[in-house]
Amino acid sequence: MKPASIKDIASKANVSITTVSFILNGKAEQMRISKAVIEKVNTIIKEFDFKPNQVARSLRTGNTQTIGLIVEDISNPFFASIARKIEDKAYKKGYKISYSSTENDPVKAKELIEMFKARQVDAYIIAPVPGIESEIKQLLTERIPVVIFDRNLPDMEVNYVVVDNFNGTYIATKHLIDSGKKNIAFVTVDLHVDQINNRFLGYEKALQDRGIQFNKDIYTEIPFDSTDDNTTAQLMLLFEKNPEIDAVLFSTNYLAIKGLLVLKLIKKEINDDFSIVAYDDHDVFKLHTPPISVVDQPIEEMAEKIIDVLLNELASASNTLIKKEASKIILQPKFIKR
């Protein structure tokens, strides 16, 4: 049996569908529909458990009350946590989230944007991969609200919410140096995206500020799509070839976890003479013996800012054509010494 439509309600109530529509949309008062009619219609709506078809409504009004969330990988705890917070806030405003993972593949990212466009999502939240600048620009010219996060795309007038990646590694590196470390390895991923670059630059600058020469032997890039075994091999090599290393700074959370597993494997002890710092906090680091210091990103705050900026745009999108300046929000990471 097909679900009831507004037409069924109208005919049962002996009123026009217009009247029902007004009542549904809270315009009854404004349209001065009589209390009696309102009540009668509402009773019938309840009786039929009628829910307006959102698809039809979307077609008519042009908005879907849906936000497209495009991240690298929803199963990464960083993105999953953000997704959750965003979902919460969006839900309260009547928006739903549709999500997708890009796997850092610009082709897939483009497809996803197309798909979301075809589905008429009202707004986008994107952790951008390099190579989708033009698609995002396109969204912008179509005046569709967009917030990018985690990574910035340089030279674009787009709302963003990022963490000061440069400063994150800067403070971490400085801390290591100040606690006596001289040979600080840097393990990162081969993605030359803004936020990873900046993490490297912060590390480099801290070394420089403290008069330590950057040593490229103890700088390692792990391919993003490296297999577990390859990653392990590469890290083992790093430690074998460079016994002088007295600290390691990992530029991402998952690399640090891999790193800890390798250290465990080769039975290299973490102690006062050999420190580890990870980027992005995780239960693993709290629980590790010894606990691992981290650069902590303010996830909750990020999610909050993202959704605030977006809802704000969504609210104003309708009633103005004036291009406001993009919101550029840079949050500060915290170094957590453990």
Partner DNA sequence: ATGAAAGCGCTAACAA
Partner DNA sequence: TTGTTAGCGCTTTCAT
Q: Which residues bind its own copies (CB under 8 A)?
A: 1, 3, 51-56, 58-59, 64, 66, 73-77, 80-81, 83-84, 87-88, 91, 96-101, 114-115, 117-120, 142, 257, 260-261, 264, 282-284, 286-289
- The minimum distance between CB 170 and its own copies, in angstroms, equals 27
Selection from 328, 331, 42 nearest residue 160 by Cα: 328
Closest CB to its own copies among residues 66, 152:
66
- The minimum distance between CB 59 and its own copies, in angstroms, equals 5
Selection from 173, 141, 172 nearest residue 158 by Cα: 141
Binding footprint of DNA on the chain (CB under 7 A): 2, 5-7, 14-19, 21-22, 24-25, 27, 31-34, 36-37, 52-53, 56-57, 59-61
Pick what 97 binds: DNA, its own copies, none; C-beta below 5 to 8 Å, kind-dependent: its own copies
Residue type, 82: I
Closest CB to DNA among residues 34, 43:
34
Selection from 44, 66, 45 nearest residue 57 by Cα: 66
- The minimum distance between CB 243 and its own copies, in angstroms, equals 23
Pick what 227 binds: its own copies, DNA, none; C-beta below 5 to 8 Å, kind-dependent: none
Pick what 33 binds: DNA, its own copies, none; C-beta below 5 to 8 Å, kind-dependent: DNA
- The minimum distance between CB 311 and DNA, in angstroms, equals 19
- The minimum distance between CB 221 and its own copies, in angstroms, equals 22
Give the Cβ contact number of residue 278 at 10 Å: 30
End-to-end CA distance of the chain: 62
Pick what 7 binds: DNA, its own copies, none; C-beta below 5 to 8 Å, kind-dependent: DNA
Element of type H or E holding 108: helix 106-118
Closest CB to DNA among residues 35, 323:
35
Residue type, 235: L
**Rounded alpha-carbon distances, angstroms, from residue 83 to 32, 90, 115, 128:** 42, 10, 19, 15
Closest CB to DNA among residues 36, 287:
36
- The minimum distance between CB 45 and DNA, in angstroms, equals 10
Residues with Cβ within 8 Å of 123's Cβ and at least 6 positions away in sequence, in order, are 67, 68, 144, 145, 146, 147, 310, 313, 314
Rg (C-alpha) for the chain, rounded Å, is: 26
> Are the C-beta atoms of 244 and 183 separated by less than 8 Å?
yes
**Rounded alpha-carbon distances, angstroms, from residue 20 to 12, 32, 35, 54:** 11, 13, 13, 15
Closest CB to DNA among residues 28, 158:
28
Closest CB to its own copies among residues 81, 327:
81
Pick what 46 binds: its own copies, DNA, none; C-beta below 5 to 8 Å, kind-dependent: none
Peptide linkage before 290 cis (omega within 30 of 0): yes
Closest CB to DNA among residues 1, 287:
1
Residues with Cβ within 8 Å of 247's Cβ and at least 6 positions away in sequence, in order, are 176, 181, 183, 184, 185, 274, 275, 276, 277
* Residue found by looking up tokens 């008429």 in the block: 120
- The minimum distance between CB 144 and DNA, in angstroms, equals 15
